Amino acid sequence: MDPQTVLQRAVEAHVRLVRFLYCDNGGIIRGKATHINGLVRRMAEGIGQTLAMQAFASIDALAAVEGMGPVGEFRLVPDPTTFVILPYAPNSAMMLCDMLTLERQPWAACPRTFLKRMVATAAQMGMVMQAAVEHEFYLARATPTGYESFDRSLCYSSVGFDASARIIDDVIAALERQGLQVEQFMPELGPGQQELSIHHADALRAADNALLVRETVRGVAQQHGVIASFAAKPFLDQAGNGAHIHCSLWGAPGAAHAGYNLLFDPRGRGGISQMGFHFIGGVLAHLPALVALTCASPNSYRRLLPHFWSSAYTAYGFDNREGAIRIPSAFWGREAESTNLEFKPADHSGNPYLALGGLLAAGLDGIRRQLDPGEPVDLDPGNLSDTERARRGITRLPTSLDAALDALQADTVLTAALGPLLTSAYVAVKRLESRYFADKPPEEEARQHFCKY
Ligand code: GLU
Ligand code: MG
């Protein structure tokens, strides 16, 4: 869409403000808005933002990163293809942005640019990644001391469907008006917990869509006087909120096997190709570091527990919901098309551009080095003895954000993919968040994470 077409659509919808949004290193969606009078001009010029914002943590405090202080700025330049009218805010629209330097170059600290780079690397290897996120969230209400669940419904129960029906119908209508295709909805395990999934798209669009869903669910819930929480573990004694990533790899246009699902091989074990197993091998090899990007908050590590179906070990398996990677059984008659991998240790505190880019970088490394993922696991790895897990090469995922960051800093593949500036800014931001919550009681930590995402 060219700027004039965007302007025309905005005028027709009586838009006054167009938000220029991005997701920062703290996983927070932030931005500034332009009045429609300056829209066309600002689509080319961008909106100025201080360099410090990529060192800004999710506690609204600045981490110490060289060059990210009070001096200097970058420009938020919107991607016009992401333009949507906001169904939950009056006369408002938004676009998602890339971060450009004043020399009009992609800024090395821009997460969306990082994902674009990983997508380009995959394309060089003849591959395109398709992805979709399962969005789990709680509907809740504020109380004088914290938050309480919106209802007491049971897992998948029709009572839950009824309790949330009006809100969810408005959410789905709002998503449809923004061009998103909803696949499934269900009342999840936790009281007031919901799950919504969106049709898959190429990796960049899938990450954009994940932000769009967060914005929309939060916005619509607010219109109903309810709070939507995307925190990883908003209620310490209930199921966590995952953002499981489903992904598949397809032959890139012009490459060998263009348009074919490269994960699928009817002769392969369980219908999975050798390349698919190498991809899994790469993800498992980098998993302790990767979770620093996909489970990005101190609160995330209260979710990654054995027996909560969130995954807690470096294991994978066919239809195994305790595996960090589940290979879901393909759909009848659509085997080639529907074969995909589900990556479970991900939640909405992870910036989706970093999460998907990191996942892609890890998997591609597995393909390049032909890594062997070992044997699939067909039981709950949490029920195995330590000795048995060690024998199978299964290890516990990091149990804190700091432990995950240690692994990330030691992972030369992921840090090289991120580049030095994004790595140092990201780690500094996350270390600051970790330090801030280190001496806070878990209840306070959960309370402060409740509404961030
Ligand atoms: N809520 C679980 C999690 O934290 C996932 C439950 C499921 O969808 O299997 O990942
Ligand atoms: Mg679920």
Average pLDDT over residues 151-173: 97
Q: 134 C-alpha vs ligand 2 centroid, how far in Å?
A: 7
pLDDT band, very low/low/confident/very high, at 192 (cuts 50, 70, 90): very high
**422 CB under 6 A from ligand 1?**
no
Q: What is the pLDDT of residues 67-110, one digit of tens each?
A: 999 999 999 999 999 999 999 999 999 999 999 999 999 999 99
Residue 111, pLDDT > 90, answer yes
Count CB-CB contacts under 10 A for residue 409: 16
**326 CB under 6 A from ligand 1?**
no
| CB-proximal residues (5 Å) to ion ligand 2 | 195
pLDDT band, very low/low/confident/very high, at 28 (cuts 50, 70, 90): very high
User: Chain-centre distance of CA 383, in angstroms?
Assistant: 29
Q: What is the pLDDT of residues 39-63, one digit of tens each?
A: 999 999 999 999 999 999 999 999 9
d(Cα 181, Cα 357) in Å, to the nearest integer?
Answer: 23
Residue 1, pLDDT > 90, answer no
Q: What is the pLDDT of residue 256?
A: 84
Cβ 13 vs Cβ 6: under 8 Å = no
Domains of the chain: residue spans and CATH: 3-107 (3.10.20.70), 117-418 (3.30.590.10)
Cβ 311 vs Cβ 320: under 8 Å = no
Q: 133 C-alpha vs ligand 2 centroid, how far in Å?
A: 10
**303 CB under 6 A from ligand 1?**
yes
What is the percent of the chain with per-residue pLDDT over 90, rounded to a whole number?
A: 99
Q: What is the pLDDT of residues 414-433, one digit of tens each?
A: 999 999 999 999 999 999 99
Pairing mode, strands 182-187 and 193-198: antiparallel
Q: What is the pLDDT of residues 352-411, one digit of tens each?
A: 999 999 999 999 999 999 999 999 999 999 999 999 999 999 999 999 999 999 999 999
Q: What is the pLDDT of residues 261-290, one digit of tens each?
A: 999 999 999 999 999 999 999 999 999 999
Average pLDDT over residues 138-145: 96
**242 CB under 6 A from ligand 1?**
yes
Q: What is the pLDDT of residue 394?
A: 96
Q: 135 C-alpha vs ligand 1 centroid, how far in Å?
A: 10
Residue 179, pLDDT > 90, answer yes
Pairing mode, strands 182-187 and 73-78: unpaired
**239 CB under 6 A from ligand 1?**
yes
Residues 6+ apart with CB under 8 A from 137: 193, 194, 195, 196, 217, 228, 229, 230, 241, 348
What is the percent of the chain with per-residue pLDDT over 70, rounded to a whole number?
A: 100
d(Cα 324, Cα 283) in Å, to the nearest integer?
Answer: 9
